[in-house]
Amino acid sequence: MSEQGHSRPVTRITIVGGGTAGWMAAAAISKVLRGLPGLTIRLVESEAIGTVGVGEATIPQIVGFNQLLGIDEAEFVRETHATYKLGIEFVDWTRLGHRYVHPFGTYGIDMLGIEFHHFWLRGLALGETAGLDDYSIGAVAARAGRYFPPQPGQPNSPLARLAYAFQFDAGRYGAYLRRLAEAQGVVRIEGRVVQVHQHPETGFVTAVQMENGDMVDGELFIDCSGFRSLLLGEALGVPFIDWSKWLPCDRAVAMPCSSAGPDQPITRSTARPAGWQWRIPLQHRIGNGHVYASAFLDDDAALDLLLANLDGRPLADPNRIRFTGGHRARLWDRNVVALGLAGGFLEPLESTAIHLVQAGIARLMAYFPSLDFTPKEIDRFNVETAREYLDIRDFLVLHYKATTRDDSEFWNYCRTLEPPDGLREKLEMFRSSGRVIREHNELFTETSWLSVMAGQGIVAGGWHPAAEILDEGELKRRLGHVRQVIAQAVGQMPTQEQFLREQGSAIAPGQRIMA
Protein backbone atom coordinates (compact mmCIF):
# COMPACT_ATOMS: atom_id res chain seq x y z
CA MET A 1 0.00 0.00 0.00
CA SER A 2 1.11 3.57 -0.63
CA GLU A 3 1.35 6.29 2.01
CA GLN A 4 -2.20 7.41 1.21
CA GLY A 5 -3.45 3.92 2.00
CA HIS A 6 -4.39 3.14 -1.58
CA SER A 7 -3.06 0.35 -3.72
CA ARG A 8 -1.55 1.15 -7.09
CA PRO A 9 -4.12 1.22 -9.91
CA VAL A 10 -4.12 -1.37 -12.63
CA THR A 11 -2.17 -0.02 -15.60
CA ARG A 12 -1.47 -3.07 -17.79
CA ILE A 13 -4.69 -4.16 -19.51
CA THR A 14 -4.90 -7.04 -22.00
CA ILE A 15 -8.02 -7.53 -24.11
CA VAL A 16 -8.37 -11.02 -25.58
CA GLY A 17 -10.46 -10.92 -28.75
CA GLY A 18 -11.40 -8.13 -31.13
CA GLY A 19 -14.73 -7.80 -32.87
CA THR A 20 -17.27 -5.24 -31.73
CA ALA A 21 -16.84 -6.00 -28.00
CA GLY A 22 -13.05 -5.92 -27.99
CA TRP A 23 -12.69 -2.70 -29.94
CA MET A 24 -15.51 -0.98 -28.01
CA ALA A 25 -13.60 -1.80 -24.83
CA ALA A 26 -10.27 -0.69 -26.26
CA ALA A 27 -11.63 2.61 -27.59
CA ALA A 28 -13.57 3.49 -24.45
CA ILE A 29 -11.01 2.48 -21.82
CA SER A 30 -8.14 4.21 -23.65
CA LYS A 31 -10.30 7.36 -23.81
CA VAL A 32 -11.49 7.33 -20.18
CA LEU A 33 -8.15 6.38 -18.62
CA ARG A 34 -5.93 8.49 -20.88
CA GLY A 35 -3.28 10.21 -18.80
CA LEU A 36 -3.07 7.40 -16.24
CA PRO A 37 0.70 7.05 -15.64
CA GLY A 38 2.13 3.88 -17.13
CA LEU A 39 -1.12 2.81 -18.84
CA THR A 40 -0.71 0.18 -21.55
CA ILE A 41 -3.64 -1.47 -23.36
CA ARG A 42 -3.01 -4.38 -25.69
CA LEU A 43 -5.60 -6.23 -27.74
CA VAL A 44 -4.90 -9.74 -28.97
CA GLU A 45 -6.90 -11.02 -31.92
CA SER A 46 -6.49 -13.40 -34.80
CA GLU A 47 -7.63 -12.64 -38.33
CA ALA A 48 -8.05 -16.41 -38.75
CA ILE A 49 -10.84 -16.46 -36.17
CA GLY A 50 -14.05 -14.91 -37.45
CA THR A 51 -16.40 -12.86 -35.29
CA VAL A 52 -20.15 -13.41 -35.06
CA GLY A 53 -20.56 -9.90 -36.45
CA VAL A 54 -24.33 -9.81 -36.90
CA GLY A 55 -25.12 -7.34 -34.11
CA GLU A 56 -26.05 -4.55 -36.46
CA ALA A 57 -28.94 -2.88 -34.62
CA THR A 58 -28.63 -0.81 -31.46
CA ILE A 59 -30.69 1.08 -28.89
CA PRO A 60 -30.41 4.80 -27.98
CA GLN A 61 -27.66 4.33 -25.37
CA ILE A 62 -25.18 3.95 -28.26
CA VAL A 63 -25.54 7.69 -28.96
CA GLY A 64 -24.05 8.52 -25.55
CA PHE A 65 -21.25 5.98 -26.04
CA ASN A 66 -20.25 7.58 -29.33
CA GLN A 67 -20.37 11.02 -27.74
CA LEU A 68 -18.08 9.81 -24.93
CA LEU A 69 -15.56 8.79 -27.58
CA GLY A 70 -15.84 12.19 -29.28
CA ILE A 71 -17.11 10.61 -32.48
CA ASP A 72 -18.45 12.89 -35.21
CA GLU A 73 -21.89 11.46 -35.97
CA ALA A 74 -21.95 12.30 -39.69
CA GLU A 75 -18.55 10.68 -40.22
CA PHE A 76 -19.50 7.65 -38.12
CA VAL A 77 -22.75 7.10 -40.07
CA ARG A 78 -20.92 7.37 -43.39
CA GLU A 79 -17.99 5.15 -42.37
CA THR A 80 -20.18 2.35 -40.97
CA HIS A 81 -22.78 2.64 -43.79
CA ALA A 82 -25.29 3.26 -41.02
CA THR A 83 -28.93 4.21 -41.07
CA TYR A 84 -31.00 5.70 -38.28
CA LYS A 85 -33.32 3.62 -36.14
CA LEU A 86 -36.44 4.97 -34.44
CA GLY A 87 -37.69 1.67 -33.04
CA ILE A 88 -38.51 -1.94 -33.86
CA GLU A 89 -41.56 -3.07 -35.79
CA PHE A 90 -43.01 -6.40 -34.65
CA VAL A 91 -44.95 -8.29 -37.31
CA ASP A 92 -47.14 -11.37 -36.66
CA TRP A 93 -46.15 -11.62 -32.98
CA THR A 94 -49.56 -11.02 -31.43
CA ARG A 95 -51.35 -12.88 -34.20
CA LEU A 96 -50.84 -13.42 -37.92
CA GLY A 97 -51.42 -10.20 -39.88
CA HIS A 98 -50.87 -7.92 -36.86
CA ARG A 99 -48.08 -5.38 -36.46
CA TYR A 100 -47.02 -2.71 -33.99
CA VAL A 101 -43.95 -0.58 -33.26
CA HIS A 102 -41.85 -0.52 -30.11
CA PRO A 103 -40.65 3.09 -30.49
CA PHE A 104 -37.80 4.93 -28.86
CA GLY A 105 -38.80 8.08 -26.99
CA THR A 106 -42.21 8.47 -25.38
CA TYR A 107 -45.92 8.48 -26.19
CA GLY A 108 -47.96 11.68 -26.35
CA ILE A 109 -47.40 14.11 -23.51
CA ASP A 110 -48.03 13.59 -19.81
CA MET A 111 -51.16 15.44 -18.67
CA LEU A 112 -52.27 16.44 -15.17
CA GLY A 113 -49.06 14.94 -13.83
CA ILE A 114 -49.79 11.34 -14.86
CA GLU A 115 -48.57 9.22 -17.75
CA PHE A 116 -50.21 9.82 -21.10
CA HIS A 117 -51.25 6.22 -21.66
CA HIS A 118 -53.88 6.38 -18.91
CA PHE A 119 -55.78 8.96 -21.00
CA TRP A 120 -55.32 6.78 -24.07
CA LEU A 121 -56.76 3.77 -22.18
CA ARG A 122 -59.79 5.78 -21.09
CA GLY A 123 -60.17 7.04 -24.66
CA LEU A 124 -60.36 3.45 -25.92
CA ALA A 125 -63.19 2.78 -23.49
CA LEU A 126 -64.96 5.86 -24.88
CA GLY A 127 -64.72 4.65 -28.47
CA GLU A 128 -61.41 6.11 -29.63
CA THR A 129 -59.83 3.76 -32.17
CA ALA A 130 -56.29 5.15 -32.66
CA GLY A 131 -53.55 2.75 -31.55
CA LEU A 132 -50.58 3.70 -29.41
CA ASP A 133 -48.37 4.01 -32.51
CA ASP A 134 -50.30 7.13 -33.58
CA TYR A 135 -49.16 8.89 -30.40
CA SER A 136 -45.45 8.22 -30.96
CA ILE A 137 -43.49 10.51 -33.25
CA GLY A 138 -40.88 7.75 -33.55
CA ALA A 139 -43.39 5.18 -34.80
CA VAL A 140 -45.14 7.60 -37.19
CA ALA A 141 -41.86 8.93 -38.62
CA ALA A 142 -40.38 5.44 -39.00
CA ARG A 143 -43.32 4.18 -41.00
CA ALA A 144 -43.20 7.30 -43.16
CA GLY A 145 -39.49 6.75 -43.85
CA ARG A 146 -38.58 10.12 -42.29
CA TYR A 147 -35.89 11.22 -39.88
CA PHE A 148 -34.80 14.38 -38.07
CA PRO A 149 -32.76 14.59 -34.86
CA PRO A 150 -34.39 15.18 -31.48
CA GLN A 151 -34.86 18.82 -30.53
CA PRO A 152 -34.58 18.99 -26.73
CA GLY A 153 -34.52 22.79 -26.93
CA GLN A 154 -38.10 22.82 -28.26
CA PRO A 155 -40.07 21.39 -25.30
CA ASN A 156 -43.44 22.03 -26.96
CA SER A 157 -42.50 20.04 -30.08
CA PRO A 158 -42.95 16.25 -30.38
CA LEU A 159 -39.33 16.26 -31.61
CA ALA A 160 -38.28 16.94 -28.00
CA ARG A 161 -39.52 13.44 -27.15
CA LEU A 162 -37.86 11.63 -30.03
CA ALA A 163 -34.99 9.21 -29.39
CA TYR A 164 -32.89 7.30 -31.91
CA ALA A 165 -30.22 4.68 -32.39
CA PHE A 166 -28.31 3.29 -35.37
CA GLN A 167 -28.25 0.30 -37.67
CA PHE A 168 -24.73 -0.29 -38.95
CA ASP A 169 -22.29 -2.76 -40.46
CA ALA A 170 -20.76 -4.46 -37.38
CA GLY A 171 -17.50 -5.19 -39.20
CA ARG A 172 -17.15 -1.57 -40.24
CA TYR A 173 -17.97 -0.39 -36.72
CA GLY A 174 -15.23 -2.60 -35.28
CA ALA A 175 -12.74 -1.29 -37.85
CA TYR A 176 -13.79 2.31 -37.12
CA LEU A 177 -13.28 1.81 -33.38
CA ARG A 178 -9.94 0.10 -34.02
CA ARG A 179 -8.67 3.21 -35.80
CA LEU A 180 -9.81 5.35 -32.87
CA ALA A 181 -8.30 3.02 -30.26
CA GLU A 182 -4.95 2.71 -32.03
CA ALA A 183 -4.78 6.49 -32.36
CA GLN A 184 -5.23 6.58 -28.57
CA GLY A 185 -2.29 4.25 -28.01
CA VAL A 186 -3.89 0.79 -27.96
CA VAL A 187 -1.49 -1.84 -29.36
CA ARG A 188 -2.97 -4.67 -31.45
CA ILE A 189 -1.23 -8.05 -31.40
CA GLU A 190 -2.09 -10.46 -34.20
CA GLY A 191 -2.24 -14.13 -33.37
CA ARG A 192 -4.12 -16.96 -31.77
CA VAL A 193 -4.05 -17.67 -28.05
CA VAL A 194 -3.07 -21.29 -27.40
CA GLN A 195 -2.67 -21.30 -23.60
CA VAL A 196 -3.77 -19.27 -20.59
CA HIS A 197 -1.26 -19.02 -17.74
CA GLN A 198 -2.48 -18.61 -14.16
CA HIS A 199 -0.90 -17.90 -10.81
CA PRO A 200 -0.45 -21.29 -9.07
CA GLU A 201 -2.02 -20.12 -5.79
CA THR A 202 -4.60 -17.43 -6.63
CA GLY A 203 -5.68 -18.64 -10.06
CA PHE A 204 -5.31 -15.07 -11.39
CA VAL A 205 -4.48 -14.98 -15.09
CA THR A 206 -0.87 -13.87 -15.52
CA ALA A 207 -0.43 -14.13 -19.30
CA VAL A 208 -1.79 -15.57 -22.51
CA GLN A 209 0.55 -17.53 -24.74
CA MET A 210 0.42 -17.00 -28.48
CA GLU A 211 0.78 -19.62 -31.21
CA ASN A 212 4.28 -18.33 -32.00
CA GLY A 213 5.33 -18.75 -28.36
CA ASP A 214 5.13 -15.08 -27.38
CA MET A 215 3.67 -14.30 -23.96
CA VAL A 216 1.31 -11.36 -23.46
CA ASP A 217 1.05 -10.55 -19.78
CA GLY A 218 -1.23 -8.14 -17.94
CA GLU A 219 -2.76 -7.13 -14.63
CA LEU A 220 -6.38 -6.95 -15.82
CA PHE A 221 -7.65 -9.22 -18.61
CA ILE A 222 -10.82 -8.48 -20.56
CA ASP A 223 -12.32 -11.55 -22.18
CA CYS A 224 -13.88 -10.69 -25.54
CA SER A 225 -13.29 -14.15 -27.02
CA GLY A 226 -16.91 -14.71 -28.03
CA PHE A 227 -18.95 -17.81 -27.22
CA ARG A 228 -15.77 -19.73 -26.43
CA SER A 229 -15.24 -17.61 -23.27
CA LEU A 230 -11.55 -18.56 -23.32
CA LEU A 231 -10.56 -16.89 -20.05
CA LEU A 232 -13.71 -16.68 -17.91
CA GLY A 233 -15.34 -19.94 -18.98
CA GLU A 234 -12.47 -22.24 -20.00
CA ALA A 235 -9.56 -21.08 -17.82
CA LEU A 236 -11.40 -19.90 -14.71
CA GLY A 237 -14.28 -22.36 -15.01
CA VAL A 238 -17.07 -19.90 -14.21
CA PRO A 239 -20.35 -21.80 -14.80
CA PHE A 240 -23.06 -20.76 -17.25
CA ILE A 241 -26.64 -20.05 -16.11
CA ASP A 242 -28.93 -21.56 -18.74
CA TRP A 243 -32.21 -19.74 -19.49
CA SER A 244 -33.34 -21.86 -22.44
CA LYS A 245 -36.48 -22.87 -20.52
CA TRP A 246 -37.74 -19.30 -20.98
CA LEU A 247 -35.88 -18.50 -24.20
CA PRO A 248 -36.06 -21.69 -26.30
CA CYS A 249 -34.48 -20.22 -29.44
CA ASP A 250 -30.94 -21.61 -29.69
CA ARG A 251 -29.90 -21.17 -33.33
CA ALA A 252 -29.65 -18.42 -35.90
CA VAL A 253 -28.78 -18.28 -39.56
CA ALA A 254 -27.78 -14.87 -40.92
CA MET A 255 -27.42 -13.64 -44.47
CA PRO A 256 -27.18 -10.15 -45.97
CA CYS A 257 -29.02 -9.32 -49.17
CA SER A 258 -29.03 -6.51 -51.72
CA SER A 259 -30.97 -3.35 -51.02
CA ALA A 260 -34.39 -2.63 -52.46
CA GLY A 261 -33.97 1.16 -52.42
CA PRO A 262 -34.89 3.86 -49.89
CA ASP A 263 -35.90 2.28 -46.61
CA GLN A 264 -37.54 3.08 -43.31
CA PRO A 265 -35.42 4.01 -40.27
CA ILE A 266 -36.57 0.95 -38.33
CA THR A 267 -35.57 -2.64 -37.57
CA ARG A 268 -38.23 -5.25 -38.32
CA SER A 269 -38.84 -8.48 -36.43
CA THR A 270 -41.25 -10.89 -38.07
CA ALA A 271 -42.46 -13.89 -36.07
CA ARG A 272 -42.02 -17.25 -37.82
CA PRO A 273 -43.44 -20.71 -36.93
CA ALA A 274 -40.46 -21.58 -34.67
CA GLY A 275 -38.85 -18.22 -33.99
CA TRP A 276 -38.47 -14.90 -35.77
CA GLN A 277 -36.65 -13.11 -38.57
CA TRP A 278 -34.75 -9.85 -38.34
CA ARG A 279 -34.51 -7.27 -41.10
CA ILE A 280 -31.99 -4.44 -40.65
CA PRO A 281 -31.74 -1.96 -43.54
CA LEU A 282 -28.30 -0.37 -43.92
CA GLN A 283 -27.27 2.17 -46.54
CA HIS A 284 -25.55 -0.39 -48.77
CA ARG A 285 -27.49 -3.62 -48.07
CA ILE A 286 -30.02 -5.30 -45.77
CA GLY A 287 -29.01 -7.51 -42.84
CA ASN A 288 -31.24 -10.55 -42.33
CA GLY A 289 -31.35 -13.47 -39.97
CA HIS A 290 -33.65 -16.21 -38.75
CA VAL A 291 -33.54 -16.98 -35.01
CA TYR A 292 -35.21 -20.30 -34.21
CA ALA A 293 -35.58 -23.17 -31.74
CA SER A 294 -33.86 -26.33 -32.99
CA ALA A 295 -36.31 -28.44 -30.94
CA PHE A 296 -39.08 -27.25 -33.28
CA LEU A 297 -37.32 -26.68 -36.64
CA ASP A 298 -34.34 -28.25 -38.39
CA ASP A 299 -31.45 -26.22 -39.81
CA ASP A 300 -32.27 -26.80 -43.49
CA ALA A 301 -35.88 -25.72 -43.07
CA ALA A 302 -34.74 -22.64 -41.14
CA LEU A 303 -32.44 -21.60 -43.99
CA ASP A 304 -35.14 -22.26 -46.60
CA LEU A 305 -37.56 -20.03 -44.71
CA LEU A 306 -34.99 -17.23 -44.53
CA LEU A 307 -34.15 -17.49 -48.24
CA ALA A 308 -37.85 -17.37 -49.12
CA ASN A 309 -38.24 -14.08 -47.25
CA LEU A 310 -35.36 -11.91 -48.47
CA ASP A 311 -36.02 -8.57 -50.18
CA GLY A 312 -33.05 -8.93 -52.53
CA ARG A 313 -30.42 -11.36 -53.74
CA PRO A 314 -28.19 -13.06 -51.15
CA LEU A 315 -24.74 -11.48 -50.80
CA ALA A 316 -22.94 -14.14 -48.74
CA ASP A 317 -23.10 -17.75 -47.67
CA PRO A 318 -25.30 -18.41 -44.65
CA ASN A 319 -23.64 -17.69 -41.30
CA ARG A 320 -24.88 -20.30 -38.82
CA ILE A 321 -24.77 -19.50 -35.10
CA ARG A 322 -25.51 -21.80 -32.16
CA PHE A 323 -26.16 -20.31 -28.75
CA THR A 324 -27.78 -20.80 -25.38
CA GLY A 325 -29.67 -17.94 -23.75
CA GLY A 326 -28.16 -17.03 -20.41
CA HIS A 327 -24.97 -15.70 -18.83
CA ARG A 328 -21.94 -16.69 -16.78
CA ALA A 329 -22.60 -16.84 -13.03
CA ARG A 330 -20.02 -14.06 -12.63
CA LEU A 331 -18.83 -11.79 -15.43
CA TRP A 332 -15.93 -10.59 -13.26
CA ASP A 333 -13.87 -13.33 -11.60
CA ARG A 334 -10.46 -12.60 -10.05
CA ASN A 335 -8.69 -10.38 -12.62
CA VAL A 336 -10.84 -11.31 -15.64
CA VAL A 337 -13.87 -9.32 -16.84
CA ALA A 338 -15.94 -10.75 -19.70
CA LEU A 339 -17.71 -8.53 -22.22
CA GLY A 340 -20.07 -9.52 -24.99
CA LEU A 341 -20.62 -13.17 -25.89
CA ALA A 342 -17.85 -14.33 -23.55
CA GLY A 343 -20.08 -13.28 -20.64
CA GLY A 344 -23.52 -14.22 -21.91
CA PHE A 345 -25.99 -14.07 -24.74
CA LEU A 346 -29.57 -12.94 -25.02
CA GLU A 347 -31.10 -13.26 -28.46
CA PRO A 348 -31.09 -9.98 -30.45
CA LEU A 349 -34.87 -9.48 -30.34
CA GLU A 350 -34.51 -6.03 -28.73
CA SER A 351 -31.01 -5.22 -30.03
CA THR A 352 -29.40 -5.39 -26.58
CA ALA A 353 -26.10 -7.15 -27.41
CA ILE A 354 -24.05 -4.02 -28.08
CA HIS A 355 -25.72 -2.26 -25.15
CA LEU A 356 -24.62 -5.05 -22.79
CA VAL A 357 -21.03 -4.54 -23.93
CA GLN A 358 -21.37 -0.80 -23.41
CA ALA A 359 -22.96 -1.27 -19.97
CA GLY A 360 -20.19 -3.69 -18.98
CA ILE A 361 -17.53 -1.15 -19.96
CA ALA A 362 -19.29 1.63 -18.03
CA ARG A 363 -19.59 -0.62 -14.97
CA LEU A 364 -15.93 -1.60 -15.21
CA MET A 365 -14.94 2.07 -15.31
CA ALA A 366 -17.15 2.77 -12.27
CA TYR A 367 -15.55 -0.06 -10.27
CA PHE A 368 -12.12 0.03 -11.92
CA PRO A 369 -9.78 -1.98 -9.73
CA SER A 370 -6.53 -1.34 -7.98
CA LEU A 371 -4.02 -4.16 -7.87
CA ASP A 372 -5.71 -5.38 -4.69
CA PHE A 373 -8.78 -6.45 -6.73
CA THR A 374 -10.94 -5.96 -3.62
CA PRO A 375 -13.98 -8.28 -3.52
CA LYS A 376 -16.45 -5.49 -2.66
CA GLU A 377 -16.22 -3.79 -6.07
CA ILE A 378 -16.12 -7.09 -7.93
CA ASP A 379 -19.23 -8.34 -6.12
CA ARG A 380 -21.07 -5.10 -6.85
CA PHE A 381 -20.16 -5.33 -10.53
CA ASN A 382 -21.51 -8.88 -10.67
CA VAL A 383 -24.74 -8.10 -8.82
CA GLU A 384 -25.54 -5.18 -11.13
CA THR A 385 -24.65 -7.16 -14.24
CA ALA A 386 -26.75 -10.18 -13.27
CA ARG A 387 -29.70 -7.89 -12.54
CA GLU A 388 -29.43 -6.26 -15.94
CA TYR A 389 -29.39 -9.64 -17.72
CA LEU A 390 -32.43 -10.70 -15.69
CA ASP A 391 -34.38 -7.53 -16.51
CA ILE A 392 -33.68 -7.92 -20.23
CA ARG A 393 -34.57 -11.62 -20.12
CA ASP A 394 -37.98 -10.85 -18.61
CA PHE A 395 -38.64 -8.24 -21.29
CA LEU A 396 -37.74 -10.72 -24.05
CA VAL A 397 -39.94 -13.43 -22.54
CA LEU A 398 -42.88 -10.99 -22.63
CA HIS A 399 -42.76 -11.01 -26.44
CA TYR A 400 -43.15 -14.78 -26.56
CA LYS A 401 -45.62 -15.14 -23.71
CA ALA A 402 -48.04 -12.38 -24.78
CA THR A 403 -49.45 -13.93 -27.95
CA THR A 404 -52.65 -15.53 -29.15
CA ARG A 405 -50.80 -17.63 -31.74
CA ASP A 406 -51.60 -21.33 -31.60
CA ASP A 407 -50.54 -22.29 -35.13
CA SER A 408 -47.38 -24.20 -34.20
CA GLU A 409 -45.91 -26.29 -31.39
CA PHE A 410 -43.39 -23.53 -30.72
CA TRP A 411 -46.02 -20.86 -30.13
CA ASN A 412 -48.09 -23.20 -27.98
CA TYR A 413 -45.01 -23.76 -25.82
CA CYS A 414 -44.31 -20.02 -25.53
CA ARG A 415 -47.91 -18.97 -24.92
CA THR A 416 -48.41 -21.44 -22.07
CA LEU A 417 -45.02 -20.79 -20.47
CA GLU A 418 -45.02 -19.97 -16.76
CA PRO A 419 -43.48 -16.47 -16.69
CA PRO A 420 -40.57 -15.51 -14.42
CA ASP A 421 -41.61 -13.74 -11.21
CA GLY A 422 -40.62 -10.22 -12.30
CA LEU A 423 -42.58 -10.49 -15.55
CA ARG A 424 -45.59 -12.00 -13.77
CA GLU A 425 -45.74 -9.03 -11.42
CA LYS A 426 -45.62 -6.51 -14.27
CA LEU A 427 -48.37 -8.36 -16.15
CA GLU A 428 -50.58 -8.58 -13.06
CA MET A 429 -50.18 -4.86 -12.34
CA PHE A 430 -51.07 -3.84 -15.91
CA ARG A 431 -54.01 -6.22 -16.05
CA SER A 432 -55.18 -4.88 -12.69
CA SER A 433 -54.96 -1.12 -13.19
CA GLY A 434 -53.18 -0.21 -16.43
CA ARG A 435 -50.11 0.82 -14.46
CA VAL A 436 -46.64 0.07 -15.82
CA ILE A 437 -43.99 -0.55 -13.17
CA ARG A 438 -40.28 -0.19 -13.73
CA GLU A 439 -37.80 -1.62 -11.27
CA HIS A 440 -34.52 -0.05 -10.08
CA ASN A 441 -33.93 2.12 -13.17
CA GLU A 442 -33.90 -0.98 -15.41
CA LEU A 443 -32.83 -0.64 -19.03
CA PHE A 444 -36.28 -0.77 -20.61
CA THR A 445 -38.49 2.18 -19.75
CA GLU A 446 -42.21 2.35 -19.04
CA THR A 447 -42.67 3.27 -22.71
CA SER A 448 -41.00 0.01 -23.77
CA TRP A 449 -43.00 -2.21 -21.43
CA LEU A 450 -46.22 -0.43 -22.40
CA SER A 451 -45.55 -0.74 -26.13
CA VAL A 452 -45.06 -4.51 -25.99
CA MET A 453 -47.82 -5.26 -23.48
CA ALA A 454 -50.39 -3.15 -25.33
CA GLY A 455 -48.98 -4.09 -28.75
CA GLN A 456 -49.27 -7.79 -28.00
CA GLY A 457 -52.79 -7.73 -26.71
CA ILE A 458 -52.45 -7.56 -22.93
CA VAL A 459 -55.65 -5.81 -21.82
CA ALA A 460 -55.34 -3.14 -19.14
CA GLY A 461 -57.80 -3.54 -16.27
CA GLY A 462 -58.32 0.18 -15.86
CA TRP A 463 -56.55 3.52 -15.75
CA HIS A 464 -55.33 6.07 -13.25
CA PRO A 465 -58.29 7.74 -11.49
CA ALA A 466 -56.94 11.17 -12.45
CA ALA A 467 -57.71 10.37 -16.10
CA GLU A 468 -61.37 10.94 -15.15
CA ILE A 469 -60.71 14.65 -14.43
CA LEU A 470 -61.17 15.54 -18.10
CA ASP A 471 -64.69 15.26 -19.43
CA GLU A 472 -65.25 13.04 -22.47
CA GLY A 473 -65.22 15.87 -25.00
CA GLU A 474 -62.04 17.45 -23.63
CA LEU A 475 -60.28 14.08 -23.46
CA LYS A 476 -61.07 13.26 -27.09
CA ARG A 477 -60.09 16.77 -28.17
CA ARG A 478 -56.70 16.46 -26.48
CA LEU A 479 -56.05 12.99 -27.90
CA GLY A 480 -56.89 14.26 -31.38
CA HIS A 481 -54.62 17.26 -30.91
CA VAL A 482 -51.66 15.04 -29.96
CA ARG A 483 -52.14 12.93 -33.09
CA GLN A 484 -52.47 16.03 -35.25
CA VAL A 485 -49.32 17.70 -33.88
CA ILE A 486 -47.30 14.51 -34.40
CA ALA A 487 -48.60 14.08 -37.96
CA GLN A 488 -47.74 17.71 -38.78
CA ALA A 489 -44.23 17.39 -37.33
CA VAL A 490 -43.57 14.21 -39.30
CA GLY A 491 -44.89 15.85 -42.46
CA GLN A 492 -42.18 18.51 -42.14
CA MET A 493 -39.34 16.03 -41.55
CA PRO A 494 -37.07 15.09 -44.48
CA THR A 495 -36.90 11.52 -45.65
CA GLN A 496 -34.02 9.57 -44.17
CA GLU A 497 -32.34 9.61 -47.60
CA GLN A 498 -32.56 13.41 -47.77
CA PHE A 499 -31.26 13.80 -44.23
CA LEU A 500 -28.26 11.53 -44.87
CA ARG A 501 -27.36 13.52 -47.99
CA GLU A 502 -27.77 16.90 -46.27
CA GLN A 503 -25.57 15.84 -43.34
CA GLY A 504 -22.83 14.44 -45.56
CA SER A 505 -23.52 10.99 -44.11
CA ALA A 506 -24.69 9.26 -47.28
CA ILE A 507 -22.38 6.73 -48.90
CA ALA A 508 -21.46 7.06 -52.57
CA PRO A 509 -24.11 5.62 -54.91
CA GLY A 510 -21.55 3.12 -56.24
CA GLN A 511 -21.24 1.57 -52.75
CA ARG A 512 -24.88 0.54 -52.66
CA ILE A 513 -25.60 -3.06 -53.55
CA MET A 514 -28.93 -2.90 -55.33
CA ALA A 515 -31.21 -5.78 -56.20
Q: What is the CA radius of gyration of the chain?
A: 24
Q: Which amino acid is at 205?
A: V
- Lowest average pLDDT, out of 9-18, 257-266, 285-294, goes to 257-266
Measured from the Cβ of residue 316, the count of other Cβ atoms closer than 10 Å reads 10
Annotated binding site for 7-chloro-L-tryptophan: 85
HSE, CB side, 13 Å, CA atoms: give it for residue 50: 6
Pick the closest to residue 64 from 355, 340, 282 (CA basis). Answer: 355
Q: Which candidate, 361, 282, 292, 334, places its Cα nearest to that of 61?
A: 361
Q: What is the pLDDT of residue 257?
A: 95
The values of phi and psi at residue 475, to 5°, are -60, -50
Average pLDDT over the chain reads 94
Residue 418 and residue 96: Cα distance in Å, rounded?
Answer: 23
Task: Give the 3-state DSSP-derived string for 401-467, with helices as H, strands as E and coil as C.
Answer: HCCCCCCCHHHHHHHCCCCCHHHHHHHHHHHHHCCCCCCCCCCCCHHHHHHHHHHCCCCCCCCCHHH
Whether residue 350 has pLDDT greater than 90: yes
What CA–CA distance (Å, rounded) separates 403 from 395? 14
Residues 6 or more apart whose Cβ sits within 8 Å of residue 85: 57, 58, 104, 164, 165, 166, 167, 265, 266, 267, 351
Which of 31, 85, 376, 476 is labelled catalytic? 85
Domains of the chain by start residue, with CATH: 12-56+169-244+324-373 (3.50.50.60), 251-322 (no CATH)
Total residue count of the chain as it appears in this document: 515
Asked if residue 1 has pLDDT above 60, the reply is no
Helix axes 353-366, 61-68, angle to 10 degrees: 50
Count of beta carbons in the 10 Å neighbourhood of residue 466: 13
Q: What is the pLDDT of residues 82-119, one digit of tens each?
A: 999 999 999 999 999 999 999 999 999 878 888 999 99
Distance CA 350, CA 245 (A): 19
pLDDT tens-digit readout, 372-402: 999 999 999 999 999 999 999 999 999 999 9
Tell me what percent of the residues of the chain surpass a pLDDT of 70: 97
* pLDDT of the residue at 442: 85
| Residue ranges at the known binding site for FAD | 18-21, 193, 341, 350, 354
CA distance 28 to 184: 10
Residue 50 is predicted with a pLDDT of 60
Q: Report pLDDT digits (tens) over 175-202.
A: 999 999 999 999 999 999 999 999 999 9
- Asked if residues 229 and 239 have their Cβ atoms less than 8 Å apart, the reply is no
Q: Look up residue 191 and give its DSSP letter.
A: S
Q: How far apart are alpha carbons 56 and 287 in whole angstroms?
A: 8
| Residues facing residue 195 across a β-bridge | 209
Question: Which residues are bridge partners to 321 per DSSP?
Answer: 252
| pLDDT at residue 3 greater than cutoff 60 | no
Q: What percent of the chain has pLDDT over 90?
A: 90
Mean per-residue pLDDT, 255-283: 95
**Residue 380 CA: distances (Å) to CA of 131, 369, 387, 392, 489:** 42, 12, 11, 19, 44
What local confidence, expressed as pLDDT, does residue 6 receive?
A: 65
Give the per-residue pLDDT at 2. Answer: 42
- Whether the per-residue pLDDT at 260 is higher than 50: the answer is yes
C-alpha neighbours within 13 Å on the C-beta side of residue 170: 21
User: 401 catalytic, yes or no?
Assistant: no
Q: Which residues of 381-409 are buried (b: 16+ CB within 10 A; e: fewer)?
A: bbebbbebbbbbbbbbbbbbbbbebeeee
Closest alpha carbon to 288 in 272, 260, 268: 268
Which residue numbers belong to the known binding site? 18-21, 85, 193, 341, 350, 354
The pLDDT of residue 251: 97
- Residue 241's SS3 state is strand
Which range is least confidently modeled, 51-55, 149-153, 262-266, 307-311? 51-55
